Amino acid sequence: MDGETRRHRALAEPARTRLLEHLRGSARPLSADELARVLSLHPNTVRAHLDVLGEAGLVDAVVERRTRPGRPRRLFSAVPDEAEREHEMLASALASLLEPLPDGDGLAAAAGRSWGHVLVERLEPGQPATAEAGLERVASLLRRRGFAPELGRDRIVMGRCPFRELALRYPRTVCALHEGIIEGAFEELGAPVALERLEPWTTPTTCVASVRRVGA
């Protein structure tokens, strides 16, 4: 059985799809017991699903480093999909070219806006373009890209940066690219909400996108 067939079979079970989506949205690796509690499944059922996802190359596992007595847990995280890897390679190439330029951050933001227009899921036909609908769509985009967003009324807190190593190497352009993606996504949706500012590294693992209600 080839890898593509394994992936399709692994995701044919809705519970495994839910499990994988939760791992993709998590800011850190999770144990089987943690996943079982969140998804209301038996831990043994979760472990069986994780085995299938692991064999399909969709989930990776590491053994926890413990500083206290007790058996170390296995911690699971989602493996980046092909689209994520492609975007990371594109972002890396773009950042390395633009970082030395005086207007590199502006060019990166413009490229990000173009990506945001393409990547965001449009609203359903007839769905009102409310601020809440726009925020949900942008949060969904960030979740799919591995940023582990938490949505508030006037901000999106991102608990994970899938481009962390790249952002530490090219902070000016990578953060501008990320900011542009969010701006472009809001523009595409046409909802009465827009990005106010992106605050990188408000904690060692967290970035915050503050938004404003247009016309409010």
- Per-residue pLDDT of the chain in tens (216 residues, 90 and over written 9): 566 777 778 888 888 888 887 887 776 788 999 999 988 899 999 999 999 988 888 888 888 877 777 788 889 888 876 666 666 777 888 888 888 899 999 999 999 999 899 888 888 888 888 999 999 999 988 887 878 888 888 999 998 888 888 888 898 899 999 999 999 999 999 999 999 999 999 998 899 999 999 875
Question: Given this model, what pLDDT does residue 82 score?
Answer: 64
Conformational region of residue 78, where left means phi above 0, alpha means psi within -120 to 50, and beta covers everything else: beta
Residue 84 confidence (pLDDT): 64
What pLDDT is stored for residue 79 in this prediction? 80
* Token couple for 124: 């359903």
Question: Number of C-alpha atoms within 13 angstroms, CB side, residue 4?
Answer: 1
Q: Which residue has the tokens 């799919």?
A: 144
Q: How far apart are the C-alpha atoms of 11 and 19, rounded to whole Å?
A: 10
Write down the pLDDT at residue 114.
92
pLDDT of residue 3: 65
Question: What pLDDT is recorded for position 83?
Answer: 60
Strand partners, 197: 210
Cα distance from N-terminal residue to C-terminal residue, the chain: 56
- C-beta separation of 192 from 131 below 8 A: yes
pTM of the model: 0.67
Predicted confidence at residue 85, as pLDDT, reads: 66
Tell me the domains of the chain and their CATH numbers. 3-78 (1.10.10.10), 82-213 (3.30.1380.20)
